[in-house]
Chain A
Amino acid sequence: MESATETSPLVRLRHISKHFGEGETRVDALRDVSLDVCPGEIVALLGPSGSGKTTLLNVIGCIINPSTGSMELDGERVVDNGRWLRSNLRQLRLDKIGFIFQFHNLIPFLDATENVALVLQLAGADAVSARRRAIELLDYLEVGHRKASMPAKLSGGEAQRVAIARALANRPRIILADEPTAALDSKRAGIVMDLLRKVAVEQDAAIIAVTHDEKIFDRFDRIFSLRDGMLDDVDIDTEPGEAV
């Protein structure tokens, strides 16, 4: 599905397919998926278990390569006909992509500030500036008062905000979120979605989220459903449960 927008898309997928195994054991996880996500957009991926949502997230996150198709991230062509055009994919992820996980996946032996600063230091920042930027981000996400807390001491909402701060640390323009509100109640889920909206608008980022959380469907600009590896656009005004 191609978005009709004049802005250059941050994520551009063309005819992406991915299969696992061969012969009788072959499973087609993605079939001819095309998608554009522009700066400032928040896009949801829906679908039942096994529909290919996580596979698509893995492809966009440069974790697995597609079998066929091409992909551009932030204007750089990274996959062509199912082959990587970049060798250092970790560096690519570090530079261009931020990840937000269902259960925040904070490193339990690092405090909130260190969790955020780690990503900056991996990208080459020195310890002092990394720490300064980490605290700024925590303040920006209104969790600065818990900067010295270990993840185990944070509430679900606080931990997810620290995780968002970590995802934003290197100012990526593409943010991939895997069930970002699944572990949160309605109120905290709403706060997290507000933050993601703020990030998308203020940092001109594209956010792609896999979600099953019906209470936040109205927070997305576009919703796509995946069924048997095929991507369908969902009318934002229809009840998503009916469309999926």
Chain B
Amino acid sequence: MNLAYRDIRHNLGRFLLTCVGLGLLLGVVLAMIGIYRGLVVDALTIARAPAADLWVVEANTRGPFAEASRIPGEMRDAIARIAGVAEAGSLTYQTVETVFRGSKLRLFVIGYKLAYPGGPLEIAEGRGLARNHFEMVADQSTGLVRGDRVQLGRNTFEVVGLTRHQVNSGGDPAVYISLPDAQKLQFDLAPPAARVQIARGTGNTGTNTVNAVVARLQANVSPDSVAETVRRWKHFSAITQDGQEAILLRSLVDRARRQIGLFTSLLLVVSAVIIALIIYTMTMEKLKQIATLKLIGAPDRTIIAMIVQQALALGLIGFAIGAMLILNIKDFFPRRVVLEPDNVVILGAIVFVVCLVSSGLGVRAALKIDPATALGG
């Protein structure tokens, strides 16, 4: 006879309500994990978009994401000619805030040279850039649709295609425009400022500057050996794709990772305390019944099993409620929430252990109950 099941059935409403409360808490834990994973995935998505093996950036910088980097645009040709490099592309990155249909719109603008590496890997809707000017491929999370026209700087761009899940580590959706348009947007001075510079004799210094050059290598060529070749030029730094991803994770999202990790740990501790208190309270409410069970001859294992099974049922149902809740609402979060099966399994295992440990308090209380308390006196 399963006493845990029968006790739960007897107080089903209260038990389920407790599970829902715990489920909400565990849902928040899952959401925090998902937000962190989303942060990492978002950060890596932009870095992985060019499908590059090597990043060439300004010397002594860890650009273009972790630090500012500016190098001459013509370096693309020099990089492309290095032995082992299959192709190279120039890239610019900048964050722009504009107004679209009366609303503020923050965009992470990526400029790339058409037909060279750096453009979006996949177009979800529409087409990629076909012209060198005034076309834009935007991420769906911008809310833009094909045919929309967006003012960036002094120019208006028409959305010709849409990508999916292309946002930077700050959550700003990415848009792709041609390199010349991006360079104008980033480096061209406003007309009054340009006139002042021309009057001072410093104008027209040229805008063929990029933030990074990415290179794809030929098969069986080591990125490290090509990187070493580039580094010999002294005025450039070369970072492999793995290195770039490591910089992103260590520099850009590390603090957020630790922040979320600490918060998640605190939530898990709170969950453990709450589970322990719930189980302890459930046990204390049954003191007389446990004393009676002991008196009529129930062995300790029967009483321990009842408490532990209730704790595990509480954790399991609470976890299932939390997981279902988050899986159903994760798309409504402003930032991407990425929940991989391994995250869910690991948290499930943690909740299982937490329930086991938390039930120890209730078990200890139950084992200390004197069967004599079942009798009056």
* A interface residues, Cβ below 8 angstroms from B: 53-55, 57-58, 61, 63-64, 90-91, 93-95, 99, 101-102, 105, 107-110, 114, 117-119, 121-123, 127, 150, 166, 178-179
Q: Which residues of B contact A99 (CB under 8 A)?
A: 295-296, 374-375
Bound-complex Cα distance A91 to B299 (A): 8
Give which listed residue, A53, A55, A57, A101, contacts B292 with CB less than 8 A.
A101
| A105-B11 contact in complex given A63-B372, A114-B1, C-beta closer than 8 Å | no
Shortest C-beta distance, B344 to chain A (Å), equals 32
Q: What is the CB-to-nearest-CB distance from A166 to chain B, in angstroms, rounded to a whole number?
A: 7
**A149, B292: Cα distance in complex, Å:** 20
Q: With an 8 A cutoff between CB atoms, is B97 at the interface?
A: no
Task: Knowing A105-B288, A107-B293, A114-B1, say if A90 contacts B298 (CB, 8 Å).
Answer: yes
Contact B297 A91 (CB under 8 A): yes
B200 touches A (CB below 8 Å): no
Report B32 CB to chain A, min CB distance, Å: 36
In the complex, which residues 1-30 of chain B have their Cβ closer than 8 Å to any Cβ of chain A? 1, 3, 6-7, 9-11
Give every chain A residue within 8 A of B296 (Cβ-Cβ): 93-94, 99, 118-119, 122, 166
**Cα separation A119 to B377 with both chains bound (whole Å):** 24
Write out the residue numbers on chain A whose beta carbons fall within 8 Å of the beta carbon of B371.
63
Query: In whole angstroms, how far apart are the Cα atoms of A107 and B303 in the complex?
Result: 13
**Which residue of A is nearest B4, CB measured?**
A109
Residues of B within 8 A of A (CB): 1, 3, 6-7, 9-11, 288-289, 292-299, 302, 370-372, 374-377
Q: Which of B10, B294, B302 has the most chain A CB atoms inside 10 A of its CB?
A: B10
A108 to B285, CA, bound (A): 11
| Shortest beta-carbon distance from B334 to chain A in Å | 45
- Pairs across A and B, CB under 8 Å, 13 listed: A91-B297, A94-B297, A101-B374, A102-B376, A105-B374, A107-B3, A107-B293, A108-B289, A109-B3, A109-B7, A109-B10, A114-B1, A122-B297
Asked if A93 meets B297 with Cβ closer than 8 Å, knowing A63-B371, A101-B292, A105-B374, the reply is: yes
Verify B295–A109 contact, CB threshold 8 A: no
A118 to B145, CA, bound (A): 67
Closest to B373 in A: A63
Q: Smallest Cβ distance from A207 to chain B, in angstroms? A: 15
Complex-state Cα separation, A95 to B7, whole angstroms: 26
Known: A101-B374, A117-B1, A119-B297. 10 other contacts (CB 8 A): A53-B377, A61-B295, A93-B295, A95-B297, A99-B296, A101-B375, A109-B6, A122-B302, A127-B1, A150-B10
Question: Which of chain B's residues has its CB closest to A49's CB?
Answer: B377
Q: How many whole Å from A118's CB to the nearest CB in chain B?
A: 6
Determine the main DSSP class of A at the interface with B.
helix
Give A152 to B354 CA distance when docked, in angstroms.
34
B101: min CB distance to chain A, Å: 61
Instruction: Check B292–A107 contact: CB distance below 8 A.
Output: yes
Overall SS of chain B's interface: helix
Q: Given A109-B9, A122-B296, is A178 in contact with B1 using a C-beta cutoff of 8 Å?
A: no
Task: Give me the 6 closest cross-chain CB pairs, A-B, nearest first.
Answer: A94-B297, A54-B377, A109-B10, A109-B7, A105-B292, A90-B297
Q: Which of B289, B295, B299 contacts A63 (CB 8 A)?
A: B295
Shortest C-beta distance, B284 to chain A (Å), equals 15
Q: Is the CB of A57 within 8 A of B375?
A: yes
Q: Complex formed: what's the CA distance from A7 to B376 in Å?
A: 31
Contacts of A63 in B (CB 8 A): 295, 370-372, 375
**Residue on B nearest A55 in the bound complex, by CB:** B377
Residues of B within 8 A of A93 (CB): 295-297
Q: How far is the CB of B77 from chain A (nearest CB, A)?
A: 80
Q: Which residues of A contact B292 (CB under 8 A)?
A: 101, 105, 107
**B82–chain A nearest beta-carbon distance, Å:** 77
Q: How far is the CA of A78 from the CA of B6 in the complex (A)?
A: 35
* CB proximity of A198 to chain B, nearest CB, Å: 21
Report the Cα distance A101→B370, complex, angstroms.
16
| Distance between B249 CB and nearest chain A CB, rounded to angstroms | 52
Bound: A58/B370 CA distance, A = 11
Residues of A within 8 A of B7 (CB): 109
Q: Which residue of chain A lies nearest to B375 when distances are taken between CB atoms in the complex? A: A178
Tell me how far the C-beta of B240 lies from the nearest C-beta in chain A, rounded to whole angstroms.
Answer: 64
A44 CA to B296 CA, complexed, in Å: 21
- Which has the most chain B C-beta neighbours within 10 Å: A55, A58, A107, A114? A107
Q: Within the complex, what minimum Cβ distance (angstroms) separates A151 from chain B?
A: 10
Q: Which residues of A contact B293 (CB under 8 A)?
A: 107
Q: Which residues of A contact B295 (CB under 8 A)?
A: 61, 63, 93, 99
**Min CB gap A76→B, angstroms:** 16
Q: In the bound complex, how far is the Cα of B27 from the Cα of A92, in angstroms?
A: 48
B306 to chain A, nearest CB (A): 10
**Bound complex: CA A102 to CA B375 (Å):** 8
A61 to B295, CA, bound (A): 8
Q: How far is the CA of A214 from the CA of B300 in the complex (A)?
A: 38
- CB of A108 within 8 A of CB of B1, answer no
Which B residues lie within 8 Å of A110 (CB)?
A: 1, 3, 6
Q: Find chain A residues with CB under 8 A from B3 CB.
A: 107, 109-110, 118
**C-alpha spacing A127/B2, complex, angstroms:** 11
A171–B296 Cα gap in the complex (Å)? 13
Residues of A within 8 A of B6 (CB): 109-110, 114
In the docked arrangement, what's the CA distance between A131 and B289, Å? Answer: 21
User: A29 → chain B, closest Cβ, in Å?
Assistant: 10
A58's nearest neighbour on chain B, judged by CB, is B372
Closest residue on chain B to residue A166 by CB atoms: B296
User: B370: which A residues are within 8 A, CB to CB?
Assistant: 63
Measured CA separation A210–B267 after assembly (Å): 53
CB distance from A146 to the nearest CB of B (A): 17
Q: A107-B289, A109-B6 are in contact. Are A118 and B376 (CB under 8 A)?
A: no
